Chain A
């Protein structure tokens, strides 16, 4: 069964139909990639799925639950985490605190135990740190643990954002252009990690990506969009050779 089922999703901004009757399904063991030229509506699809935008029509079903009308903070609770095209980190907090926020949906302690830092909270915080340190190790961020975000280089910030999303222990990860701004070496490390996330952690990935080599390397399924509409979908090679896709990219 699909972990994410998007049906006839559309959104209109004034006169512009940014996403137009888009449907697709992501399977639990998949890296599912959306490609398309600039302004195709890829980020808008993400913002619709994470409920930051209100769809004009259509349905979004995540893990069998209809989330089309759920408020955005509930989406994380259901097990979906995302990163942002322009990186949205907590600039004045440390790397560790950013990653620890990923545990927010798992926090159980009440107000009084937080006010007094009772043993029950202490136990929770310890457990949160164990998960966070695991993720920090996986993302190679150990040496930045106590560094505030502002002042970190771009590639590191990208890793922190991914680490924060992983700390939530989601079932589905939404990654908006994870390789943009990375050096070729960093992009190779990313490809390795994406596969590890899918195979070792068992987390499905829905991503938007421009680096076609990375796309071919990791994707199980590719969806091409242009001007808000689906052009084609299928294996990475087939989609990249599809005449409509070639035209959309060259025709720009």
Chain B
């Protein structure tokens, strides 16, 4: 990090990965994930597939909440729209390569629909609006039986990629990994472009963003569209992963998971999306493992997982708003400066008082 501080050319600012060392590191990490199917058994691989899918969905939430500062309690709806669009199209014989972008597009359309009326809303009102939207979508999917088969559920055919059937966990994992990488690259590109700076401007000061020429209506709607599209892609993949989808799989708890994902991972960081997704997928496993250690009275309670999610979400908001990624960074800084660190220099900065009037 420190070695790249000096720039002698603007071109150096415009690369995604600064320097050889970082490129090599990414290459190694990439190679490890590509080799994963041959290193671990099918059950664990399946968990990594879920992590990829959740990371894609979480990326949508991150664009929206982490970078634009818009809260959504309705991500489950976009996930459902993606899943059912892919489901309905592929059942009708449309190939996966068409169904996947279509899932993203239809979800993006829904994102625009909720984004436009939500323009004048922030905070609590936006939370309520998106939540109601999710209920409406769940209801529509349940009732629209001619397309979705309602609560009978929809069976997903195997995905095919240009005639090549994705018929094993191994192939499907690699497919999800590839799509995750593409989505991450796309979002990283947007974030270092005018669009990303406009999002961050809206998040940090709507009033200054506006006065510097950012059209709030356009950029907030765009953020909703991108956030929804990504979650829609994830929905299509999730449908394939689950092979059988019903409306109940896209309830409010999924929206809460998405919210937990970005807060725990670390708001405003792309690494955080992956950390958060890993957390969401692995926590239930850990809880299941711990069940054996708990007294029976507690271990047999239903809803332990939901409670754990809630408690952890609250703890992170209070204790470590930077999320896992923020914690990781301050640890790194701590070790890199090790004997020379002042106590307190790693505490959170007290931010300046913000007033409503400007």
Contact = CB atoms under 8 A, between A and B. Distances in A.
Interface of A: 43, 47, 50, 52, 71-77, 81-82, 84-93, 97, 100-105, 107, 109, 111, 114-117, 121-122, 125-126, 129-130, 133, 146, 150-151, 164, 168
Contacts of B213: 73-77, 104-105, 168
A121 B204 CA distance: 24
Contacts of A121: 193
Contact of B212 (A81, A114, A125, A133): A81
A73 B216 contact: yes
Contacts of A77: 213
B197 to A, nearest CB: 5
B210 A73 contact: yes
Given A52-B210, A116-B186, 11 more contacts: A73-B214, A91-B204, A91-B205, A93-B197, A97-B197, A101-B198, A115-B186, A116-B189, A121-B193, A125-B13, A150-B351
Nearest to B207: A88
B205 A90 contact: yes
Interface in B164-220: 186, 189-190, 192-198, 200-201, 203-205, 207-216
A50 B212 contact: no
B20 to A, nearest CB: 20
Nearest to B67: A92
B230 to A, nearest CB: 12
Given A72-B210, A77-B213, A126-B11, A97 B200 contact: yes
Interface string B9-25: 01101101000000000
B17 to A, nearest CB: 12
A130 B194 contact: no
A8 B196 CA distance: 40
A191 B196 CA distance: 34
B358 interface: yes
Contacts, number: 123
Given A109-B194, A125-B193, A76 B211 contact: yes
A53 B352 CA distance: 25
Interface of B: 5, 10-11, 13-14, 16, 186, 189-190, 192-198, 200-201, 203-205, 207-216, 222, 268, 349, 351-352, 355, 357-358
Nearest to B11: A126
A116 B352 CA distance: 37
Contacts of B190: 114-115
Residue from A100, A104, A116 whose CB has the most chain B CB atoms within 10 Å: A104
Contacts of B193: 109, 114, 117, 121, 125
Nearest to A126: B10
Nearest to A121: B193
A171 to B, nearest CB: 14
Contacts of A125: 10, 13-14, 192-193
Contact of B195 (A88, A114, A151): A114
Nearest to B195: A114
Given A72-B211, A76-B213, A104 B13 contact: no
Given A50-B211, A72-B210, A109-B194, A88 B358 contact: yes
Interface of B is mostly: helix
A88 B212 CA distance: 11
Closest 7 CB pairs of A and B: A76-B213, A107-B194, A88-B208, A114-B193, A90-B204, A105-B213, A129-B10
Given A97-B197, A115-B186, A129-B10, A92 B204 contact: yes
B58 to A, nearest CB: 19
15 contacts: A47-B358, A52-B211, A73-B214, A75-B211, A76-B213, A81-B212, A90-B208, A93-B201, A97-B197, A101-B197, A104-B197, A104-B214, A117-B189, A117-B192, A121-B193
A89 B358 CA distance: 12
Nearest to B222: A111
Contacts of B200: 90, 92-93, 97
B208 A126 contact: no
Contacts of A85: 358
B14 A122 contact: yes
Contacts of B16: 117
Nearest to A168: B212
Contacts of B208: 84, 88-90
A92 B268 contact: yes
A76 B189 CA distance: 25
B189 A52 contact: no
A103 B193 CA distance: 11
B207 A90 contact: no
A103 B215 CA distance: 14
B198 A91 contact: no
A252 B268 CA distance: 47
A69 B177 CA distance: 50
Residue from A87, A92, A146 whose CB has the most chain B CB atoms within 10 Å: A92
A133 B10 CA distance: 10
A86 B204 contact: no
B265 to A, nearest CB: 16
A89 B211 CA distance: 11
Nearest to A71: B215
